[in-house]
Amino acid sequence: MKKLLGIVVLGLLWGNTSFAGYGAGELTMSEGAVLAFQKYLKGKKGKPMRFLISEDGLRTYWWYCPYSRCAPGGDIQEAKICSRKAKTPCHTFAVRRSVKWKNEINRGGKAASFSGKYTNKHDLEEIKKRLTELGFYGGSVTQIKKKEIKKKEIKKKEIKTSDKNLTQKLKELNELYKSGALTKEEFEKAKEKLLN
């Protein structure tokens, strides 16, 4: 019994777990991958169960359930099949109609769900729009958000710098007024000019 338990534990430790779980991190889907995702969502051959994608966003693999009851081999087994076909590591992107891949924007939940069947060109544009919003297509949303954050940081630095400069100038003006170098009118005009 101990030997059997030891063999099972060693097998689990030595087993390849690089394929395990849902995908995470930055992913930009290719046009072909988006078209494949649309076909997956159509569900023509059965109920969509798993959609997997390679880390480079180019290769896809999906699994349908043509029967009333069925279960996929699990994320690890499906990822191994996808990785073997794609010749690069694959991870689960979606389970049924819900995107499970986590990135800076997508944190899951209802916002990451695709309901209904997407069959025509209009629906493809809707899929592209949703994937862009989730940060998986075109990369534009993620890049825009990063640029916005950088702009906000730069503005904060500028405000801090300008506040320090303004404070310093007001102190200097006040010292000039106290020393008698400026009249009260000159001081008020100069102060108003600085503040505006």
Residue position matching structure tokens 């109920």: 47
pTM above 0.85, yes or no: no
Residue pair 88/77 in contact by the 8 Å Cβ criterion: no
CB burial of 50-89 (b: ≥16 within 10 Å; e: otherwise) equals bbbbbbebebbbbbbbeeeeeeeeebeebbbebbeebeee
Residue pair 80/18 in contact by the 8 Å Cβ criterion: no
* Residue 2 falls inside a structural domain: no
Q: Examine the domain organization and report whether 109 and 166 are in the same domain.
A: no
Count of structural domains, the chain: 2
In tens, the pLDDT along 112-166 reads 888 776 666 668 888 888 888 888 887 544 455 555 556 666 666 665 556 667 7
Residue position matching structure tokens 């769900």: 113
Q: Examine the domain organization and report whether 62 and 110 are in the same domain.
A: yes
Q: Examine the domain organization and report whether 90 and 48 are in the same domain.
A: yes
Q: Examine the domain organization and report whether 62 and 127 are in the same domain.
A: yes
| Helix pair 184-195, 140-179: axis angle to 10 deg | 180
Q: Examine the domain organization and report whether 97 and 49 are in the same domain.
A: yes
In tens, the pLDDT along 47-90 reads 888 888 888 888 888 877 766 666 656 677 778 878 888 888 88
Q: Could you give the 3-state DSSP secondary structure of residue 26?
A: coil
- Domain containing 166 equals 143-195
Q: Examine the domain organization and report whether 123 and 183 are in the same domain.
A: no
